[in-house]
Amino acid sequence: MRVAVLASGSGTILEAILDAPTTVELVLVDRPCGATDVAEGHGVAWECIERDRYDAGFDRLGYTERVVEALEAHTIDLVVMAGWGTILATPIFDRYAGHILNTHPALLPAFPGWHGVADALAYGVKVTGCTVHVATPDVDAGLILAQEAVAVLPDDTVESLHERIKTVERRLYVTTIHEILDRGSVQ
């Protein structure tokens, strides 16, 4: 399976994937970010399909079509989101149905959305964690592939809890990706 990684941030998940090692054909970013330095450091091709706006005028459909074109140009089979910050439209889920992976810093279906860690702390849970799942048009609603719990400590802040979750997340995500690559399919 030919793998592409979609990233928007510092590239820590991408670094874990590449250090595993995992063969990645393409790193795609939606803005200038540290993930491109990580890709370059590992000799992996990268492209930036930069978002032109972050308001209601954003053309999500047109943007998604450009992402799909880039993935198809590299004959990608498995799309791995690694801190990707742009919600994509239906065309990518039609083209790569069941072949887009994502992670979430909570034990889905609990605390979906952008603020999973803060929401878990605000709710007062004693255990949260991370989830690796198949991405679908409905955010954080796809098939759960793997989960691991992380205890919430009495003095945790959003930042301290998120850092402990990220440590587990990087390991769990890489393990799950490799299991998929070994069997040649997501399910």
* Residue 1 structural domain: 1-97
Residues 54 and 136 in one domain: no
Residues 113 and 89 in one domain: no
pLDDT for res 187: 79
Residues 109 and 93 in one domain: no
pTM (predicted TM-score): 0.95
pLDDT for res 93: 97
178 annotated active-site: no
Residues 25 and 39 in one domain: yes
Residues 92 and 112 in one domain: no
Residues 117 and 139 in one domain: yes
Residues 87 and 141 in one domain: no
Q: For the chain, how many structural domains are there in total?
A: 2
pLDDT for res 103: 97
Q: How far apart are CA 115 and CA 109, in angstroms?
A: 13
Q: How far apart are CA 159 and CA 118, in angstroms?
A: 9
Annotated catalytic residue within 42, 99, 104, 162 = 104
| Ranges in the chain, pLDDT < 50 | none
Q: Between the CA of residue 155 and those of 49, 126, 152, 160, 161, what are the distances in Å?
A: 40, 12, 8, 9, 9
Q: How far apart are CA 82 and CA 17, in angstroms?
A: 9
Residues 93 and 11 in one domain: yes
Assign residue 136 the CATH number of its domain: 3.40.50.170
What pLDDT, in 10s, does the model give residues 164-174? 999 999 999 99
Strands (E), the chain: 3-7, 26-29, 46-48, 78-82, 100-104, 127-134, 144-151
Residues 108 and 83 in one domain: no
